Amino acid sequence: MTLVYILKRLAISIPVLWLLVTLTFLFLRIVPGGPFDQDKALPPHIKANLEKEFDLDKPVVWNTKKWSEGHYIQFFTETQYFYAMKKLVHGDLGPSFKYRTRRVTDIILESLPVSIELGLYAVLFAFLLGIPLGILSAHRHNTWIDHTSMFFAISGVTLPSFLIAVILIYFFSIQWGMLPAGLWDSGFEYKVLPVVALGIRPVAIIARLMRASVLDVIQADYIRTARAKGLAEFPLMMKHVVKNSLIPVITIAGPLVAAVITGSFVIEHVFAIPGMAKHFIQAVTNRDYTLVMGVTIVYAVFLIVANITVDVMYSVVDPRIKLS
Amino acid sequence: MTQSGTSLWQDAWKRLSKNKPAMVSLGFIVFIILVAVLADVLSPYSYETQNTVERLMTPNSKYWMGSDQLGRDLLSRVIYGSRISIAVGMIVAICALISGGIYGAVSGYVGGKIDNAMMRIVDVMYTFPSLLLVILLTVLFGRGLFGICVALTIVSWVSISRLVRGQVLQLKEMQFVEAAHAIGVRNWAIIFKHILPNILGPIIIILTFEIPSAILTESFLSFIGLGIRPPLSSWGSLANDGFQAFKSYPHLIVFPGLAIFFTVLAFNLLGDGLRDALDPKLKNVSP
């Protein structure tokens, strides 16, 4: 049943992806300025050759010349859009317009693991810190512990992530010289600051949600019964309260993935991490059509998978919710 | 029951005025808006006058927030930056509320196949990675105030339309709406006289949460260099300017960053307060 549901959702996602790809394609073609417009103009014949190589010598969406010649099918096929789609279906994103000797797929394969690693550590950090914080806050409801941790939580949601990153770098790298101020290497010390800076916002989101959830569960009748039977506070919290409060927290993968992706744009910029977000920013500025397209597709697939996962998780953790 | 003299709004105000963080935030928001409006009067120096002798000064009695690489007074630049940041927040929140609100209200009120089709479109919008979409849209609409606002509105109206639709769906089933139908009140009169006043509370709350989220997104964009372009500058682009030299002169990035932080925090605390005051049951509007 679940498998059928997942397959159905994936099938619906295909037209959505197609729409996204088409819109991105059109956006990039509408804006003035092409990838080969540089400060120093290229010799016309070189530019013409380059444009031929990248299919840019064809019209964008329809080829009126072919229409007037009576080739009605080529009206659609002899276009940049059709060529791009044809290559895309074959899994070929083409060469990068900016780094002409490299293929977009290679650039993505190189930078995606970096972004995933950063994002995964940040999510892990968020759960490890956010859940205990939320439990503590709810258990000491309306005490100074609650107020302090909730003040930190709301600060975590409102602090711009570049400010967190810069403060961390200033103290840990520049003042105390404990950790490197940037770059991404295999060493553990390179990961601490970016992961913490990226993770603060998710920590805050999880802590707030966990607190609300625990407060909700604590009022339930079965908790009162357990208390009345004389169950000690610690096993009560662990076995009955926390277990049941985790349900809504597990299911926030969607907003969490979105927060991590958004955050990674700033964090990869500040720490000079060679991930996808950094490539995307550069690609947009360079009008690197193919690279923008590739990165957009990867991010969209991520979001789609995250959304489906959320809906499936809902029904797994709470069997009362039916998938439809 | 001696409350017969107080309306819902007076009640809400009474509850809100007891909420200290919310009231302090309200005061701060009024202050920031005044600063933005009165920037010409308040800023001690011009935001663009360069003074190459006094470059990169740390905060001192002459330049309260120090000066930047070109010797411009940072305090004046932060004051002028508030104009763009606040304007983006307000314009985007209002435009997104109007477009998303009307869309959601129509969808919920009409119902049936039209509702279904309209919500499909919303679902598709949800799948788009919103930050990527904003960046692509700013490429299309340009990176002036207009372009940024249009781009942010296009990605913000979606969640508002869902919320408003939910509210309208609930109200539509209420007996007083049914009664209005029964005595022959026209559709537009039902929408404006019976439904709108009843969702005004949630709408105000959404507005208060939408403003800081737009301010934050704009600051992200400007910080990574894809937002507002010079000569305009927002807090985000000031932070980006300061980023180049922050290892030696952290104040250049800390002050604009703090301006964003306090403003966004104030709007969020006010939003929390309004939510508690207007509708304690409404939990799902927070960010």
CATH number (domain holding residue A248): 1.10.3720.10
Nearest-angstrom CA–CA distance, B247 and B243: 8
In chain B, the number of structural domains is 1
Q: Is residue A35 part of a domain?
A: no
Question: In the predicted model, is pLDDT for residue A37 greater than 70?
Answer: no
CA-to-CA dists, residue A123 to A50, A195, B182, B218, angstroms: 43, 9, 53, 24
Q: Is residue B246 part of a domain?
A: yes
Q: What share of chain B is helix, strand, coil (3-state, %, to 5)?
A: 75, 0, 25
In chain A, which residues have their Cβ closer than 8 Å to the Cβ of B127? 13, 16, 20, 300, 303-304, 307
| 3 state SS of B193 | helix
ipTM of the complex: 0.79
- Name the CA radius of gyration of chain A, rounded: 25
Please answer yes or no on whether A163 and B219 come within 8 Å at the CB atom: no
Q: Is residue A195 part of a domain?
A: yes
| 3 state SS of B73 | strand
Beta strands in chain B (DSSP E): none
Residue of A nearest to B250 (CA): A170
**How close is the nearest chain B Cα to the Cα of A316, in Å?**
22
In chain B, which residues have their Cβ closer than 8 Å to the Cβ of A163? 239, 253-254, 257-258, 260-261
Q: Is residue B38 part of a domain?
A: yes
Considering only residues A139 and B212, tell me which one the structure prediction assigns the higher pLDDT. Answer: B212
Query: What contacts 24+ positions apart, CB below 8 Å, involve A128-131?
Result: A129/A199, A129/A203, A129/A207, A130/A202, A130/A203, A130/A204, A130/A205, A130/A206, A130/A207, A130/A210, A131/A206, A131/A207, A131/A210, A131/A246, A131/A249
State the residue range of the domain holding B237: 12-280
Least confident of A78-82, A214-218, B82-86, B105-109: A78-82
**How confident is the prediction along chain B (287 residues), in pLDDT tens digits per residue?**
445 556 777 878 888 888 888 889 999 999 999 988 888 877 777 777 777 766 667 777 776 777 777 767 778 888 888 888 999 999 999 999 999 989 998 898 888 898 888 888 887 787 777 788 888 888 878 788 888 999 999 988 988 898 888 888 888 888 888 899 899 888 888 888 888 888 888 888 888 888 998 998 899 888 888 888 877 788 888 888 888 887 778 888 888 889 999 999 999 888 888 888 876 554 444 44
Are B195 and B177 spatial neighbours (Cβ–Cβ below 8 Å)? yes
In this prediction, residue B287 carries a pLDDT of 40
In chain A, which residues have their Cβ closer than 8 Å to the Cβ of B219? 160
Question: Domain of B157: which CATH number?
Answer: 1.10.3720.10
| 3 state SS of B67 | strand
| DSSP H/E element including B161 | helix B145-172
> What letter represents residue A162's amino acid?
F
Q: Is residue B221 part of a domain?
A: yes
Residue of B nearest to A271 (CA): B243
State the residue range of the domain holding A249: 107-285
Q: Is residue A47 part of a domain?
A: no
Nearest-angstrom CA–CA distance, A74 and B206: 50
| Axis-axis angle for helices A276-286, A289-317 (nearest 10) | 140
In chain B, which residues have their Cβ closer than 8 Å to the Cβ of A27? 136-137, 139-140
Please answer yes or no on whether A27 and B131 come within 8 Å at the CB atom: no
Q: Is residue A3 part of a domain?
A: no
Nearest-angstrom CA–CA distance, A323 and B10: 44
Q: If 0-12 CB within 10 Å is exposed, 13-18 middle and 19+ buried, where does residue B191 land?
A: middle
In chain A, the number of structural domains is 1
Residue B225: both structure tokens together: 């260099």
Please answer yes or no on whether A155 and B254 come within 8 Å at the CB atom: no
Q: Is residue A169 part of a domain?
A: yes
Nearest-angstrom CA–CA distance, B21 and B26: 9
Q: Is residue B6 part of a domain?
A: no
Tens of pLDDT, residue by residue over B85-143, are 999 999 999 999 999 989 998 898 888 898 888 888 887 787 777 788 888 888 878 78
Q: Is residue B5 part of a domain?
A: no
Q: What is the pLDDT averaged over residues A109-137?
A: 89
Q: Is residue B123 part of a domain?
A: yes
Query: What contacts 24+ positions apart, CB below 8 Å, involve B276-281?
Result: B276/B15, B276/B19, B277/B12, B277/B13, B277/B15, B277/B16, B277/B19, B277/B22, B278/B12, B278/B201, B278/B202, B278/B204, B278/B205, B279/B201, B279/B202, B279/B205
Concatenated DSSP letters of A131-155: HHHHHHHHHTTTSHHHHHHHHHHHH
Q: What is the mean pLDDT of chain A?
A: 81
In chain A, which residues have their Cβ closer than 8 Å to the Cβ of B264? 158, 160
Q: Is residue A88 part of a domain?
A: no
Question: In the predicted model, is pLDDT for residue A32 greater than 70?
Answer: no
In this prediction, residue B120 carries a pLDDT of 84
Return the half-sphere exposure (C-beta side, CA atoms, 13 A cut-off) of residue B85. 37
Please answer yes or no on whether A28 and B287 come within 8 Å at the CB atom: no
Sequence-distant (6+) residues with CB within 8 A of A322 are: A315
Are A51 and A36 spatial neighbours (Cβ–Cβ below 8 Å)? yes
Q: Is residue B7 part of a domain?
A: no
Q: What is the pLDDT averaged over residues A235-258?
A: 79
Q: Is residue B286 part of a domain?
A: no
Q: Is residue A34 part of a domain?
A: no
CA-to-CA dists, residue B133 to A136, A212, B136, angstroms: 38, 32, 5
Are B88 and B156 spatial neighbours (Cβ–Cβ below 8 Å)? no
Backbone angles phi, psi at A195, to 5 degrees: -65, -45
Residue of B nearest to A289 (CA): B136
Question: In the predicted model, is pLDDT for residue A321 greater than 80?
Answer: no
